Structure 1
Amino acid sequence: MTRTHPLAELPHPHRLFDLGPHNGAHRVAIRAGISVGTPLLILWSIGHVELALYSTFGAFVSLYGRSHSHVIRARLQSGVAIGMVGAVSVGAAVSLSEQREWLVLPATAAYAAVITGAAQRFGWKPTGALFPVFALSATASIPGSETDALLAAGTAAASAAFALIVGIAGLARPAARDFERRARAAAAPTRPESPRVSEAVGVGLVVGVAGLIPTALGLDYPYWAMVAAAAALATSGPDEQLVRAGHRLTGTIAGVGVAWLIMSVDLPPIVTIAVICVLQMCAELFVVRNYGLALVFVTPLALVMLDFAHPQPDLTLLLARILETAIGVAVVIAAALAWRWAEHPGRRR
């Protein structure tokens, strides 16, 4: 029997280019486009695009339960809505403090652990704490008053409620109602999964460390590092996390190039909203098929949205996205390799 080094069985790089089946992704893309675009149009029409970021966080509810029937999806998305609005609310509360750049680290780490446990307990799909981590950490980075905090939470709640309505709108069709009845009749009863506490705590710690490094270095957007870490940790096991980390970095670099092309043109607000909707729909077409390819659309979506709601220097924003994503990815890779080494300290073949 020969001893195999734990690093000798790492995932093959070709996995970065695997492409999964379509599986009706266009339906999810349409729901996501409507859920994101409609609140943005309303905010633009009433002259409050500064709230656009919070409405988008609420609209992220539409990304969950893509393969579920209408009623089951509505039930799942209701729980997600509580998590997303809670993330915006906590982030808005942190933003009131002058020490927000440090307070956001333990707040996001703790919330990531709680959401990871909730996702396991209630079977959220997609899994993990990616979107709540993004919502909390990005909201916390925007200084504001108590009124601003209430508006942020209220906007996210209204947008999430609209996304829930979009998610069940298909029941207006008789064919959809018939399918719903058949799906419920055929569904086998399932027992809720118990949260894996150690895993949830581990996610919180890794997300916290990912944010601590750029904060200590004085970088401007530490939440990109936390988001990158949360995204890679949303899969199970170190091998899958390594693949997801590779997807996150390569997709982000390509996506920043797309964002630069879009942001280099002075687009009217209505065109920017249309671009955001198209990017969101394209992301949903590929996110299950190949996460790295989806990041080519997700990255400019996040950057254009952030710049739309709170304009800032384009080059600084773009370079920070790459640098701080790389930090988050590096932390996850280190954690995944350490976990792999701990699991197989003397593995034999």
Structure 2
Amino acid sequence: MPGPLHHVRGVLGESVRLGPAPGAHRVAIRGAIVLAVALGTLLAVDRLDLGIAAAFGAFASIYGGRRPSRTRWRAQAWMGALLTATAAVGALVGMTPWSTWLAIPLVAVVAGLATWASDAQGWRPPGPFFLVFAAGACASVPFAPADVPLVPLVSAATAALAVGLGALEQLVLPTRKAPPPAPPRDPAIRWQVARAVVGVGAAGALATAVSGWLPGGDHPYWAMLSAAVAFAVPHVHGQLARGVQRVVGTFVGLGVAWLLLSAGLPPLATIAVVVALQFVIELVIGWNYAIGLVAITPLAMLLVHLAAPAPIDALLLSRLVETALGVAVGSLAIVAIRPRGRGRGTR
């Protein structure tokens, strides 16, 4: 049984573990291996610019629970397929002349559908964040038309590797007889979906409208991502806390990103750092979201810089401003779009 100090209270009262969650090291090892193989292969063929597509396929490894079960591989395969399809649609939008504005309804719709599907299917981890990330990031990268088919190809291949490693773990390690039952359906899920669509869409529209005044401000999907992070948790106070953690963790993580980007690392060293960050993320994300972002932020910045290099200072400032903007807009949607009355209406 955990002792009285096994958990402490985090930002705005969220419970924080004082050590990695059970089985977190397994997810961390799998994720690091998948990303190392994918990025190493892309380096060998001189296509590290597709590293961001590989990252989306690697995200499949985090779904379905930390411990192997007889059905986990199915959940990972399903999420790998969804991530691949979402990245492909995003890349198609990204090659159009109207990608900046088309990305807004695309990502908003993805946020709403993923929020609903997460509740209906009991995704673990819950929420629309990774699908929003795939749609928004791929829609913002100026892929050449000939490269667009490579995005789902790389993502699908990486996801297949992630699923295969998860299945191998099931053969080697003890397997649970059955996964825990999915949480009960939230009767107020329609309000969550509405918040996700409105918050993510409004954040993208505002970030796009003001991007001309921001140095390096051509990544409105960062604002949409920041608006979407809240919907991994059900209650209003938890959602608002997640936004605060997003801003705090991003601020600290940008300092780490500045050091890494300023070092001018060669490609092989960059891959090594990205893989190490992926390992750290899966170990610490269960402690506290803000702590996890200290590693998530530099990893995202390195992948973005590989796909579309930009001046470092402008890139990082844009990330901070758009993160704060997205959290503010998302928080406003959370507070404003709520059923009347008390009880479950506070969700």
TM over 0.5: yes
Give CA deviations for 1:111-160 in whole Å, capped at 9, x if unaligned: 11111122112211111111111111111112234321111111111111
- Contact 2:119–2:126 under 8 Å retained in 1: yes
Matches within 5 A, 1:188-207: 193=185, 196-207=189-200
Note the aligned Cα RMSD (angstroms). Answer: 2.4
Alpha-carbon distance in structure 2 between the residues aligned to 1:153 and 1:343: 45
Summarize the Cα distance change of 1:166–1:142 in structure 2 as closer, same or farther, 3 Å threshold.
same
Out of 273, 276, 280, which is 1:275 matched to? 273
Summarize the Cα distance change of 1:39–1:337 in structure 2 as closer, same or farther, 3 Å threshold.
same
How far is 1:314 from its partner? 0.7
Say if 2:104 is the partner of 1:111: no
Say if 2:246 is the partner of 1:248: yes
Aligned partner of 1:37 in structure 2 is 36
Aligned partner of 1:61 in structure 2 is 60
Residue type of the alignment partner of 1:79: W
Alpha-carbon distance in structure 2 between the residues aligned to 1:115 and 1:333: 19
Alpha-carbon distance in structure 2 between the residues aligned to 1:187 and 1:264: 45
Aligned partner of 2:80 in structure 1 is 81
Matches within 5 A, 1:35-184: 35-173=34-172, 176=173, 179-180=174-175, 183-184=176-177
- Contact 1:104–1:137 under 8 Å retained in 2: yes
Out of 306, 309, 313, which is 1:308 matched to? 306
How far is 1:340 from its partner? 6.4
Aligned partner of 1:6 in structure 2 is none
- Contact 1:78–1:164 under 8 Å retained in 2: yes
Name which structure has the greater RCO, CA cutoff 8 Å, separation 6+.
1
Residue type of the alignment partner of 2:223: A
Residue type of the alignment partner of 2:192: E
- Contact 1:50–1:310 under 8 Å retained in 2: yes
Q: Counterpart of 1:217 in 2: which secondary structure?
A: helix
Residue type of the alignment partner of 2:312: D
Aligned partner of 2:5 in structure 1 is none
- Contact 1:211–1:226 under 8 Å retained in 2: yes
Alpha-carbon distance in structure 1 between the residues aligned to 2:135 and 2:240: 25
Summarize the Cα distance change of 1:340–1:118 in structure 2 as closer, same or farther, 3 Å threshold.
closer
Summarize the Cα distance change of 1:120–1:344 in structure 2 as closer, same or farther, 3 Å threshold.
closer
Residue type of the alignment partner of 1:270: L
How far is 1:20 from its partner? 5.1
Summarize the Cα distance change of 1:217–1:18 in structure 2 as closer, same or farther, 3 Å threshold.
same
Summarize the Cα distance change of 1:26–1:319 in structure 2 as closer, same or farther, 3 Å threshold.
same
Alpha-carbon distance in structure 1 between the residues aligned to 2:104 and 2:118: 21
Alpha-carbon distance in structure 1 between the residues aligned to 2:131 and 2:104: 14
TM-score by structure 1 length?
A: 0.88
Q: Counterpart of 1:18 in 2: which secondary structure?
A: strand
How far is 1:30 from its partner? 0.6
Q: Percent identity?
A: 37
- Contact 2:68–2:170 under 8 Å retained in 1: no
Residue type of the alignment partner of 2:309: P
Gaps of 5+ in 1: 1-10
Structure number with the higher helix fraction is 1
- Contact 2:23–2:67 under 8 Å retained in 1: no
Alpha-carbon distance in structure 1 between the residues aligned to 2:65 and 2:170: 15
Name segments (4+ residues, structure 1) moved above 6 Å: 188-192
- Contact 1:215–1:222 under 8 Å retained in 2: yes
Give CA deviations for 1:30-81 in whole Å, capped at 9, x if unaligned: 1111111110000001111111110111111112123342432211111211
How far is 1:253 from its partner? 0.2
Summarize the Cα distance change of 1:188–1:154 in structure 2 as closer, same or farther, 3 Å threshold.
closer
Out of 205, 223, 226, which is 2:224 matched to? 226
How far is 1:198 from its partner? 3.8
TM-score by structure 2 length?
A: 0.88
- Contact 1:276–1:304 under 8 Å retained in 2: yes
Summarize the Cα distance change of 1:107–1:272 in structure 2 as closer, same or farther, 3 Å threshold.
same
Alpha-carbon distance in structure 2 between the residues aligned to 1:87 and 1:48: 21
* Matched residues, number: 329
Bigger Rg over Cα:
1
Alpha-carbon distance in structure 1 between the residues aligned to 2:45 and 2:312: 26
Matches within 5 A, 1:287-302: 287-302=285-300
Aligned partner of 1:4 in structure 2 is none
- Contact 2:200–2:227 under 8 Å retained in 1: yes
Matches within 5 A, 1:206-225: 206-218=199-211, 219-225=217-223
Q: Counterpart of 1:233 in 2: which secondary structure?
A: helix
